[in-house]
């Protein structure tokens, strides 16, 4: 297959570096002589409605490529859309491929997580079955770091850096007063605790780090937790507890469900999380009579581009470029992944893997990286994360605030 037109989309929860992967796709495709470079607006869901842009009209030079790398969230717009199977609705597949044919697309790139890789799997299988000459490549993205096979995922390093930084700052704030207090910090992570584990990086010569860390890989026992807080009161006035939003009690229910009168579910049937920190903090105050505060980082940890990891930005860009090179070489139905060659000094290589080994497979924190009592993480966990948060990439600042590249919604095209 020769080099032709390409299209790229973004899907799932945005990250601080997802646009760096987009920049990697755009620049590599442009430099290697691709035809036209299109972008799906709001992922595959928006493309079903025919919405797209000509990226060369929105990213006009190398300065704007650098600006795009420093822009948080998803420049093209994202979606949470579960592509049905062909058996469930083949009309959707016909529509997608009809739109791809209208734009004469030969290379399709999708930047996302587990569900996005499922989309790549299904579309590549459909193309293969019907002998349609389009290559499909997945580009990993998720702050949750839960994609299988790859050593880590672009987006995780910057979120981890932000979380560890916030923990250090909170620790400074907590000891400002000579009084008892418990702070419960809620961090993203439905079933995998990679992000919450990153709070352990706060421990250094100038900071003792979180006192307790609870991941969703282990059941959260409220009574044991209260007992542990009680023991700490004998020798410490302040406590910082980091919990994953998806921690479950010994009854198997999300802790946050105890704090909600109404439970919402998203388009994938996932329970809407959030509120575990507030519930735990209130419980501590009620049962132990200690001043306690719950803090929920929520989307801040995935969109904070003012203090990203340069390593993360560089690798996100590299992943986008590698996907283009692989597709232009004839690969399809695969995802770019990282293999760690060395931890000290840190070194990785990029390669590709059959997306069927990745789609819908969730990578959790290894049990041996969680302490026996389930209240902290091991040194191996810290050693794994630390290389991913190194160095910084400063934003372009105008009038004291970071400047971002924004999509002109008035220039959106439609092929329907």
The predicted-structure confidence for 336-392, as pLDDT tens digits, reads as follows 999 999 999 999 999 999 999 999 899 999 999 999 999 999 999 999 999 999 999
Taking only Cα atoms into account, the Rg of the chain, rounded to an integer number of angstroms, comes to 22
Q: Does domain 156-303 have CATH number 3.40.630.30?
A: no
Kindly list the domain boundaries of the chain, sorted by start residue: 5-142+305-359+391-414, 156-303
Q: Which residues are catalytic?
A: 144
- Across-strand partners of 213? 242
Return the percentage of the chain with pLDDT > 90, whole number.
Answer: 94
Top CATH class of 5-142+305-359+391-414 equals alpha beta
Q: Which residues, including other chains, have CB under 8 Å from residue 29's CB and lie 6 or more apart?
A: 6, 37, 107, 324
Cα torsion for 222, 249, 365, 378, to the nearest 10°?
A: 10
Structure-block tokens of residue 337: 């992944």
- pTM value is 0.96
3-state secondary structure (DSSP) of residue 202 = helix
* HSE-up of residue 227 (Cα within 13 Å, Cβ side): 7
Angle at 18 between CA 198 and CA 408, to 5 degrees: 140
**Domain 156-303 in the same topology as domain 5-142+305-359+391-414:** yes
pLDDT band at 409 (very low <50, low <70, confident <90, very high): confident
Separation CA 5–CA 14 (nearest Å):
25
DSSP result, 378-409: -HHHHHHHGGGG-SB-PPPEETTEE------G
Q: What is the dihedral of CA 289, 290, 291, 297, to 10 degrees?
A: -110
The tens digit of pLDDT for each residue in 57-101 reads 999 999 999 999 999 999 999 999 999 999 999 999 999 999 999
What is the C-alpha to C-alpha distance for residues 393 and 375, in angstroms, rounded to an integer? 33
């Amino acid at each position: 297959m020769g080099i032709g037109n390409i299209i790229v989309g973004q899907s799932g929860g945005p990250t601080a570096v997802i646009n760096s992967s987009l920049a990697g796709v755009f620049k590599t495709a442009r430099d290697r002589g691709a035809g036209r470079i299109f972008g799906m607006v709001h992922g595959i869901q928006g493309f079903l409605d025919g919405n797209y842009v000509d990226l060369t009209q929105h990213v006009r030079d190398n300065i704007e490529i650098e600006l795009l790398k420093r822009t948080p969230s998803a420049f093209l717009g994202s979606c949470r859309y579960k592509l049905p199977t062909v058996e469930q609705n083949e009309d959707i597949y016909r529509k997608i491929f009809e739109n791809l044919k209208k734009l004469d697309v030969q290379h399709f790139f999708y930047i996302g997580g587990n569900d996005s890789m499922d989309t790549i799997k299904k579309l590549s299988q459909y193309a293969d079955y019907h002998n349609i000459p389009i290559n499909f490549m997945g580009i990993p993205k998720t702050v949750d770091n839960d994609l299988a096979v790859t050593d880590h995922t672009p987006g995780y390093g910057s979120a981890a850096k932000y979380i560890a930084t916030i923990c250090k700052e909170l620790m400074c704030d907590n000891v400002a007063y000579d009084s008892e207090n418990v702070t419960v910090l809620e961090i993203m992570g439905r079933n995998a605790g990679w992000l919450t584990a990153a709070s352990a990086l706060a421990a250094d010569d100038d900071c003792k780090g979180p006192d307790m860390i609870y991941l969703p890989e282990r059941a959260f026992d409220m009574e044991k937790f209260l007992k542990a807080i009680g023991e700490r009161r004998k020798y410490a006035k302040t406590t910082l507890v980091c919990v994953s939003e998806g921690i479950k009690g010994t009854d198997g229910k999300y802790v946050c469900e105890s704090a909600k009168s109404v439970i919402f579910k998203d388009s994938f049937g996932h329970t809407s999380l959030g509120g575990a920190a507030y519930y735990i903090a209130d419980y501590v105050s009620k049962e132990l009579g200690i001043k306690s505060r719950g803090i929920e980082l929520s989307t801040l940890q995935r969109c904070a581009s003012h203090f990203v990891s340069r390593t993360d930005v560089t690798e996100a860009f590299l992943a986008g470029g590698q996907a283009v090179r692989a597709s232009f070489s004839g690969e399809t139905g695969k995802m770019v992944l990282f293999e760690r060659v060395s931890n000290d000094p840190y070194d990785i290589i990029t390669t590709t893997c059959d997306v069927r080994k990745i789609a819908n497979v969730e990578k959790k924190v290894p049990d041996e990286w969680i302490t026996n009592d389930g209240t902290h993480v091991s040194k191996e966990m810290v050693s794994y994360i630390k290389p991913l948060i190194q160095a910084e990439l400063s934003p372009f600042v105008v009038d004291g605030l970071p400047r971002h590249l924004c999509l002109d919604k008035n220039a959106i095209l439609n092929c329907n």
